[in-house]
Amino acid sequence: MFRVPGENGVESLFEVQNYAVAGNGDLSNSQYSQTQGIVGPGGYGWGFNAPSDNLAQAFDAAGDIVRKKATILYNGDIMPGGETILGVGINGMDGVVRPRYNGKAYIPISQQVAGVNSGAEQNVRKLRYAEILLIDAEAKLNKGDVNGAATSLNLVRARAQLLPIAAPTMQNIWNERRLELAMENDRFFDLVRTGQAAAVLGPLGFKVNKNEHFPIPQTFIDVTNGIIKQNPGY
């Protein structure tokens, strides 16, 4: 569902539409895939937004083989089209022993459009039906409907070939969101809204009462003649 042929599929509810016109960079300027693509010899991207060791370990702890394979690409992986993932070698990526890349942003070499940014044609998935099910599960559990929450949660788990959870806790649902939506730009906001940001992100520099919000650009403050104030801590 994350490849170009799967764009705007039955599960997708909202995607940012990107296009690539061969040889025309002005009409093909999305860098969503390029910035996260494989970096190094044999690569064609910048290697940003690399999946963390912690995320890989979370997949392993859950026994989640299916989604880990879809989310994380390692050097040496052979893709369904026959392409071998190549990039920087062991310890060649800052802070990561075994380099890895975002599988959801991956575009096979065979699908690259000549003369434009790598993966410029890949849509950005913003909202999927799986997330609606997890939102529903969380809402139902908040209302005390444990059975209803389990039904929605386990539809997502069944596709990942994981056993059902009969009486899920809120943490079960939050953990499921992390694995199902990994690398889709949801994690930070989930940690903030559920009150977990300080515990999870504190060791990485997160400061309470500051980093829940982004800084307001100074140019925006200036254009309002100071009516708009900077967020606390910046």
Supply the CATH number for residue 145's domain.
1.25.40.900
Q: Degrees (nearest 5) of the Cα angle 174, 124, 94?
A: 70
Of the three residues 83, 110, 125, the one that is the final residue of a domain is 125
In the chain, the number of structural domains is 2
Q: Are residues 80 and 161 in the same domain?
A: no
Q: Are residues 73 and 101 in the same domain?
A: yes
Q: Tell me, yes or no, if the pTM score tops 0.75.
A: yes
Q: Are residues 89 and 24 in the same domain?
A: yes
If 0-12 CB within 10 Å is exposed, 13-18 middle and 19+ buried, where does residue 22 land?
Answer: exposed
Provide the residue type at 181 as one letter.
L
In a domain, 86, yes or no: yes
Q: Are residues 183 and 121 in the same domain?
A: no
Q: Are residues 38 and 135 in the same domain?
A: no
Q: Are residues 159 and 111 in the same domain?
A: no
Q: How far apart are CA 138 and CA 174, in angstroms?
A: 8
Contact 193, 186 (CB under 8 A): no
Q: What is the pLDDT of residue 95?
A: 64
Q: Are residues 48 and 25 in the same domain?
A: yes
Q: Are residues 194 and 175 in the same domain?
A: yes
Q: Are residues 138 and 46 in the same domain?
A: no
User: Residue 118 is part of which domain span?
Assistant: 15-125
Q: Are residues 34 and 19 in the same domain?
A: yes
Q: What is the pLDDT along the chain (234 residues), one digit of tens a residue?
A: 999 999 999 999 999 999 999 888 888 889 999 999 888 776 778 889 989 889 999 999 999 999 999 999 998 899 888 888 887 766 667 667 778 899 999 988 888 888 898 899 999 999 999 999 999 999 999 999 999 999 999 999 999 999 999 999 999 999 999 999 999 999 999 999 999 999 999 999 999 999 999 999 999 999 999 999 999 999
In a domain, 131, yes or no: yes
